[in-house]
Structure 1
Amino acid sequence: MFRTIIKISVRNLLKHKVYLLVNVFGLALGFTAFILIGLFIQFELSWDKTNEHYDRLYRVQRHYSKTRYAMDGNDISPHSRAITAQLLENQFPEFEKVTVIRENGGKFLSAVADRQIYVDGGICADSCYLDVFTYQFIDGTRNGALGEPFSILLSKTLADKLFPGERAMGRTVTIEKKFDLKVVGVYEDLPENTTIRPDYIVSFSTLAHTDRITRRDIRTGDCMTFALLKPGVEYKSAESKIKSVFAGYRGVEFEELQLCPMKKVYLDFNGNGHYYVVLVLYGLIGVFILIMSAFNYINLNTANAATRGKEVAVKKVSGSSRGTLIVQFLGETMLISLLALGLAFLLVVVFLPVFADISGRQLEFIWATDWEFAALSVLISLSVGILSGIYPALILSSNKIVSLFKGDLYSHHHEKFNLKKILVTTQFAISVFLISITISFSLQIRFLLSKDLGFNKENMIYTKMSVSKSGTSFSQLRDRILQHPEIFDASMSKHIPFVSFGGGMTNWEGGDQEEKISCRFNTVSYDFVRNMGIFLIAGRDFSRDFPGDIGNACLINESAAKCFDWDDPIGKRLKDNRLSVVGVVSDFIYKDMHNGIEPSILILASEEITGTWTFAFRVDPNKYQQAKAILEHEFSLAFPNDPFEFNELLMAFENENTFQIYRAINRTILFFTLFNIFLAIIGLLGLVSFTVFRRTKEIGVRKINGSSSLNIFCMLSYEYFILAFYAMVIAIPASWWVYEWIPSAYKLHIQAWVFALGGGILMIIILLTTSYQTILAATRNPVEALRYE
């Protein structure tokens, strides 16, 4: 019987080739979008799973207790003190291994003196690191690899750059033209979805010789500590024990430790859940598009079933049971659904590189590793087939033979339940929702690009570099550079906005001695405020007329003054009374475009140029290349032993993580909105074609009785415009709520005209899609219409 049913199903499908093509292609697009988004979400939820001990691996974070903060979430820091690993492994048997690492930031590495390679991602790690994290070695072994000072491990990519065509093992790499490191191993590049993904790893013991930092150092707070719990240990229990490990250490007694599971380090390390919102939005889009294509299929299948009444009547007369008819219809719909899924897998191969580029992720679909996802897709496909066929199958199989021959299949169901209207309205609502969200995100990106940052990012060139003793003061270097008319101003600082940022705790005059505030500290030269275009709103700037400012005076921003509850900050003192406030600057965005503005404290630097500094220069925009060449020449003379590279501050701003996320979201939603619009067009074309086909005689009669072509057109299109209105009533509040739900400190609230535009685009789509078929039917000769059978 099943063989016969399949054979009949294939014959029916081949008989209606256009119906088959529309359904298969429409469903395939929906499945393709669903699979692509599913792969993206699966990728985002799989971070760090390549580590062998993923389920027992935790990052040790700092939680600042008894402290005020400018914004929520900043009481948790992913960084910890260098001594943390040693304290945990010595005092708590719950931990199997504890490792400490320190990020190196951008450094220049070289194998030969005249070829410097800038590497952005390197770390220093202790000897336990390779016991905690999983690495695959190409050359060398992990045993004892990071035990000796001045040892370095290289990723395969970096090893090939430094030693093209040669073996790196045992060779020497020079970092920043200052220290020689011996290559003790080469490891496979880590996958993109790895939180700690260094290009090279230097032994932590090297820091004792280069930066005077050891594992016993309590002063250094910019390290990261990762702990491997013993099997069977409950992490909340271990966390409660280590919480107050710093209670007996003066100056850090209010720092509490907590454990963040490795599965949350990337997604939600501080518990605010912001990135989960993004993943939920992606999931909604995937489900909506799948629903869109499924509803198209259900509508077209239901409409097509109305033309098969006589076929079913003949089968009933010939003795076919109701069960056989239901199986027949479900078999056809499930077969179409599986064909669509097969085509979708092919389309995924085509679209995956495009989507990966849009989303900024290295996505791939491999049957051998993604078989569970593929099996889920097959299950969903079969479910869609069953749902799309069950309603017309039940109606057709339950109707009387006389009714089937008359063709009034759905007549007695019309008033109680019109499935088509509900499904079409839902499709239109999804279209308006996605169009509105896409436009809103585009406006948000424009808003962020044009937002007043509180400083001037234009025409600024900077370099961040490690300076050995040069014998040159910054004032001397600055005066020499400003002799060139291409360069307008210059400053030196530890940090500049969107490039790097410092942090620390401070108490303040008038506050509780046990209460501190987390601030962004920055050590700057005299001309930093003017050069960056930051506004002074009270007091004075640092001045060479006040040599006592160095190390003693500070500037604060408006947010800091509010946090300290100071109405008149000038003359107030900070940091155990060591710093005196001489001026207040306007708030400026320091770190990113997602979080709010934090309290900021600027401290005046000495003239000596030693250590890591960021040099920033305001240049003539019409002479950018000349200014860059001048700066490179002057720096080569001033710092012959220190590598450097000049970059534009504007590029750092545009590459900021929030922008990348917003752009990726916007491009992705636009990509799938186009999918959705195409599906809407396909669905409407199919529905209108069936409507015209079923009402051909009615159209002919109306024309004979005097109806104009315009009346016929309006009659056929009116229903869809009414459904579009209902859809907007649903979609507008939904899109408004979802967009407002997305977190950001700097967000343009959704504009009313966006909804009007979304609705207008839907109306245009309906008009253009229905016009051809309805106009053709309205202008057709009524004689042809009456004899079309």
Structure 2
Amino acid sequence: MLQNYFTMAWRSLLKNKGFAVINIFGLSVGIAFTLLIGAYVWGELRVNQSLKNADNQYILQSRWKDPNLGFELGTIAQLPKTLKEVYPTLVANYYHWDGVTSNVSKGDKHFRESIQVGDSTLLKMYGFALQRGNAETAFNDPFSAVITPSLAIKYFGSTDVVGQTLTIENFSGSKHDFTISGVLDEPARNSVTSVNDNNHSNIFLPEKASVFLGRNLTGWNNTSLVGYIELQKGVTPAQLEAPMRHLIKENAPQQISDNLTPYLVPLKSYYRQANGGTVNKMIYTLSFIAFFILLMAVINFVNICIGRSSSRMKEMGIRKVLGGLRKQLIWQFLIESTLLVLMATFIAMALYLLARPYLSDVLGKPITGLFAFPWYFYLLPFVFAVFVGLLAGIYPALVLSALKSVDSLKGKLTTVKDSVLFRKALVAFQFGTAALVFIGAIIISQQVDLFFGKDLGFKKDYIVYAQVPRDWSKKGVQKMEAIRYQLAQTPSVSSVALSWEIPDGGNGGPTQIYRQGTDPKQALTTQGLSADNQYALTYNIPMLAGSFFSPVYSAIDSAKVVINETASKALGYKDAGDAVGKQVNVAGITTPFIISGVTKDFHFGSMQESIKPVTFLNVNFTAYYRFFSVKLKPGDAQKSIAALQQKWSSLMPDAPFEYHFLDEALTHIYQTEIQLKKASYIAGLLAIVIVLLGVLGLVSLSIQKRTREIGIRKVLGASVVGIINLFLKDFLAIVIIAGIISCPLAYLIMHSWLNGYAYRISITGYPFIIAIATISLLTVVLITLQTIKAAISNPVKSLRTE
């Protein structure tokens, strides 16, 4: 009997291929998108979950009264180890590290690599396994190194490399061979080997290697290291608050102890909460969109299934006359609708496989493969199929099977007609959701365009940057300045600057300055930048007053600073010119500095934050540098890059020329917004496709039901346009009602989202008009194409339909 139900259901689908295709395609697209977003969310939720004792693992964070005094991610270098030593009943283990990049070489292979210099507790504390080597002794030698499999392949072509050596350069220009003592198993995504999207460590060195690199992993005034602790079982973060405050008060300098409040964040949730919770916001936003896309697809499916029910009344009547039982008719409807959903689910899985690489690229995150989930996940699509199948089939099954045979054969059912209003309400919900998503996509796009179209206060065009070898000494700076001068002589190069920073938000830390003769306790905290005399020229940063040091460096420039307009006003100067030539003190430095110039304000980081006070110190004074920023002359960029690379290789043969355009750095700042923009446009497109499929199905059903009416109207003189308008009025009214509801809601949601940015667009009527007009136009075109055939057909045929 069951086989017979399936056979009849299959024949019914083949008989109504058009409706079946619309139903299956619309639902499969909704399911596929929801599965992909679900897989993305699953992957994001799994970050850090595989770490050993993950429930007890925490990262130390810093909350500063003045946020310019330090980084939230950094902690006091001495704190993790001291907590373990002084409070062993509370703290089971600790790990802290310093992240650096340096030149690494093997033979003729030279690359810049991300390196973690940290405690030997790394492997044991987090359960990281080694493919090769002994985890117990991997960090015993100060010149040993544990590397990732990808780095082993990169330098050696194999992972069987224990005992081989890599040459690492330190920040005074010296080089030393490090023996590879272990090769990691490729770890799952975590916030230890990759603390954030900007840091993916490939080489792990023992703490003793810090001596060679010239780094310091100790001290109570060092607040730039990343620290983790593992709590004893049963211990809560609240129990560690008082001990941390006590240790900082007893050991840290007063400026730090008065301003810093350390706190613990569980590693299981840290990844999602970091950077203002951007990952959580992305998860919630995409989950919300996916839910409504799926809901729209389900509504479409249910709507069309219910709408088609009236066309099968005669079939039900004949089957009842021939002896069919009511329960058999109910089973028939339910199996038919469930079969449709199952088919849509299988097609959705195929779409998942095809679309996964594309969506993974859009979101910039790996999306779990279809066959990589736990076994119980595979029950969900089938439970969903049964639920939606029952939902779509239960109404026609119960109503039609309850009709008397005579009523069924006459093909009259008032309750089906009464359900039209309910179904139109569902379509209105779909239109509203599509409009909401589309409006949101346009506003997000406008905000992202603002980031790249707004005057940043400097010129980013034709600028490339690359990291240089480090020798943080006066001799090292002089050598880099000499190389900078020679690079600038390249015909395709306009200018070159040596600096610690590029305008991507990353800076050397806070620099406190105060006017000569004022109270040092009232010092202004600024972003401290280290750059040479060519920085403003290379980035085309306008000067409000004075000069950006001297055109050519002289020793007196080391006693000068350059500040921005915001810093000048904060120091109490009404006009920028008043600040030039005045003396200021820099906290921690005894000799005063002279303000050489005041720049116009420029965006050094994200527009989520307002422009902060900035102080430039000359790189010849600080002796800290990382980048060459190169301004190319307009023209053939690739030819200019090739010439620059050739010159670079001749001047620094052992230093890799790993360049990036400045646009790439700015793109990375707004990576989340760009990903959200792309995802919202995909969702908006899918929402419109699904709602149009719903309109297509309902209009087709409406034409079927009103075929005789159309014939009568034509006999009475109705025009083709008049008949088309008959259908247009119904659906355009729905679009208008949906727009009236969705536009205020979209405004409130997007206004709240824009409040997260210090610089943002003003919401105008443009996104609302474009969204509603586009949906209305597509609806008009679709309905016209659907109804025109019925409108021009011979009325004699229409009148014969009943």
**TM-score, with length taken from structure 1:** 0.89
Higher mean C-alpha deviation, range 137-146 or range 376-385: 376-385
Once the 2 structures are TM-superposed, how far is the Cα of residue 580 of structure 1 from its aligned partner?
4.2
Q: What is the CA–CA distance in structure 2 between the aligned matches of 1:447 and 1:368, rounded to whole Å?
A: 40
Which one of 569, 583, 600 corresponds to residue 586 of structure 1?
A: 600
Mapping of residues 34-53 of structure 1, within 5 Å: 34-53=34-53
Q: Deviations over 1:265-310 (max 9, x none)?
A: 222136x434322222211221121111111111111111112233
SS in 1 for 2:469: strand
SS across alignment from 2:95: strand
Match of 2:83 in 1: 88
Query: What's the secondary structure of 1:245's corresponding residue?
Result: helix
Q: Which amino acid aligns with 2:223?
A: G
State the distance in 2 between where 1:266 and 1:624 align: 38
Q: Comparing both structures, which one devotes a greater share of its residues to helix?
A: 2
User: Does structure 2 conserve the Cα–Cα contact (< 8 Å) formed by 1:556 and 1:581?
Assistant: no
In the alignment, structure 1 residue 748 sits paired with structure 2 residue 755: no
1:498-550 per-position Cα deviation (integer Å, ceiling 9, x unaligned): 28422125364599866776532112223322332222224553237996755
Q: Distance in 2 between matches of 1:18 and 1:158?
A: 54
SS at match of 1:369: coil
Q: Pick one of 683, 688, 695 that aligns with 2:699.
A: 688
1:396 to 376, 390, 400: 400
Match of 2:222 in 1: 220
| Secondary structure class of the residue paired with 2:228 | strand
Residue identity in the other structure for 1:382: V
Shift of 1:633: 6.1
Range with bigger deviation, 535-544 or 77-86:
535-544
Q: 1:5 to 1:474 in 2, by over 3 A?
A: closer
Write the mapping of 1:14-413 to structure 2, written as runs, cut at 5 A.
14-65=14-65, 67=66, 77-93=72-88, 94-105=90-101, 107-112=102-107, 114-119=108-113, 121-165=114-158, 167-176=160-169, 178-192=175-189, 195-196=194-195, 197-213=200-216, 215-248=217-250, 249-250=252-253, 251-253=255-257, 254-269=259-274, 272-313=276-317, 326-367=330-371, 369-397=373-401, 403-410=407-414
Q: Deviation per CA, 1:133-168, whole angstroms, max 9, x where unpaired?
A: 232311102213123211111111111111124731
For structure 1, which segment, 573-582 or 540-549, has the greater mean C-alpha deviation from structure 2 after superposition?
A: 540-549
Which AA in structure 1 matches 2:181? V
> Pick from 715, 736, 743: which aligns with 2:747?
736
Are the structure 2 counterparts of residues 471 and 440 from structure 1 closer, same or farther at C-alpha, using a change threshold of 3 Å?
closer
- AA partner of residue 601 (structure 2): D
**Can you list the C-alpha shifts for 1:645-693, whole angstroms capped at 9, x where unaligned?**
26244343344241x3233222222333333333233222221111111
Pair 512,30 (structure 1): closer, same or farther in 2 beyond 3 Å: farther
Contact 2:505–2:606 (CA under 8 A) maintained in structure 1: no
| Structure 1 position 752, deviation (Å) | 1.6
User: Any residues of structure 2 matched to 1:420-569 within 5 Å, and which?
Assistant: 420-468=423-471, 469=475, 472=478, 476-477=482-483, 479-483=485-489, 486-498=492-504, 500-504=506-510, 506=512, 508=514, 519-543=526-550, 550-561=557-568, 567=574
TM-fit CA distance, 1:110: 1.5
Deviation at 1:33?
1.0
Following the alignment from structure 2 to structure 1, what is the Cα–Cα distance between the partners of residues 244 and 786? 72
**For residues 669-688 of structure 1, what are the structure 2 equivalents within 5 Å?**
669-688=680-699
Pairing partner for 1:720 from 731, 756, 778? 731
Indicate conservation of the 8 Å contact 1:28/1:340, yes or no: yes
With normalisation by structure 2, the TM-score equals 0.88
Alignment match, 1:653:
665
| Separation in structure 2 between the aligned mates of residue 774 and residue 483 of structure 1, nearest angstrom | 71
Which stretch shifts more, 291-300 or 457-466? 457-466
Question: 3-state SS of the aligned residue for 2:272?
Answer: coil
Q: Secondary structure at the match of 2:468?
A: strand
What residue identity is the alignment partner of 1:553?
K
Displacement of 1:363 in angstroms is: 1.5
Aligned to 1:759: 772
Sequence identity of aligned pairs in percent?
A: 25
Q: How far apart, in 1, do the equivalents of 2:110 and 2:401 lie? A: 78
The residue aligned with 1:603 is 617
User: Does the aligned pair in 2 maintain the 1:472–1:638 contact within 8 Å?
Assistant: no
SS at match of 1:258: strand
Question: What letter is aligned with 1:104?
Answer: V
Q: 1:506 to 1:375 in 2, by over 3 A?
A: farther
Q: 1:776 to 1:142 in 2, by over 3 A?
A: same
Distance in 2 between the 1:594 and 1:378 partners?
43
Please list every run of 5 or more consecutive structure 2 residues that lacks an aligned counterpart in the other structure: none
C-alpha change, 1:351 and 1:379, in structure 2 (3 Å) is same
Cα deviation, 1:611-640, whole Å, max 9, x if unaligned, reads 643222333223756765665566556656
State the partner residue of 2:634: 621
Cα shift at 1:96: 0.9
Question: What is the CA–CA distance in structure 1 between the aligned matches of 2:456 and 2:477, rounded to whole Å?
Answer: 36
Q: What is the CA deviation profile of residues 58-93 of structure 1, one whole-angstrom value per residue up to 9, with x for unaligned ones?
A: 11111113x266xxxx97610123222222212222
SS in 2 for 1:220: coil
Q: Could you give the per-residue CA deviations for residues 372-424 of structure 1, whole angstroms, max 9, x where no partner exists?
A: 4333333333332233233444443565666545444245873x982111111
Cα 1:444/1:477, change in 2 over 3 Å: same
Deviation at 1:452, TM superposition (A): 1.2
Q: Does 1:784 align with 2:784?
A: no
Kept in 1: contact 2:142–2:209 (CA 8 A): yes
> Given that residues 360 and 664 in structure 1 are in contact (C-alpha distance below 8 angstroms), is that contact kept between their aligned partners in structure 2?
yes
**8 Å Cα contact 2:70-2:223 kept in structure 1:** no
CA separation of 1:134 and 1:515: change in aligned 2, threshold 3 A: farther
* Paired residue type of 1:265: Y
For each residue in 1:197-239, what CA deviation from the matched residue of structure 2 results, as whole angstroms up to 9, or x when unmatched? 42111222101222052x4333433211111111111123224
Residues in 2 aligned to 1:337 and 1:143: alpha-carbon distance in whole angstroms: 55
**Worse overlay, 665-674 or 173-182:** 665-674
User: In structure 1, how many angstroms separate the alpha carbons of the residues matched to 2:267 and 2:385?
Assistant: 34
Measured on the aligned residues, the alpha-carbon RMSD in Å equals 3.2
Residues 584, 134 of structure 1: alpha-carbon distance in 2 compared, 3 angstrom cutoff:
farther
- Other structure's SS at 1:596 match: coil
CA contact (8 A) 2:477 2:619 kept: no
| Cα separation, partners in 2 of 1:657 and 1:472, compared to 1, 3 Å | closer
What secondary structure, in the 3-state scheme, does the structure 2 residue paired with 1:252 have?
helix
Hey, what's the Cα distance between the residues in 2 that align with 1:444 and 1:189? 38
Aligned AA for 1:556?
A: I
**Which SS does the other structure have where 2:498 is aligned?**
strand
SS at match of 1:117: strand
* Cα distance change on mapping 1:240 and 1:35 into 2, 3 Å: farther
Given residue 178 of structure 2, which amino acid in structure 1 is its aligned partner?
L
What is the rounded CA distance, in whole Å, between the counterparts of 1:487 and 1:44 in structure 2? 43
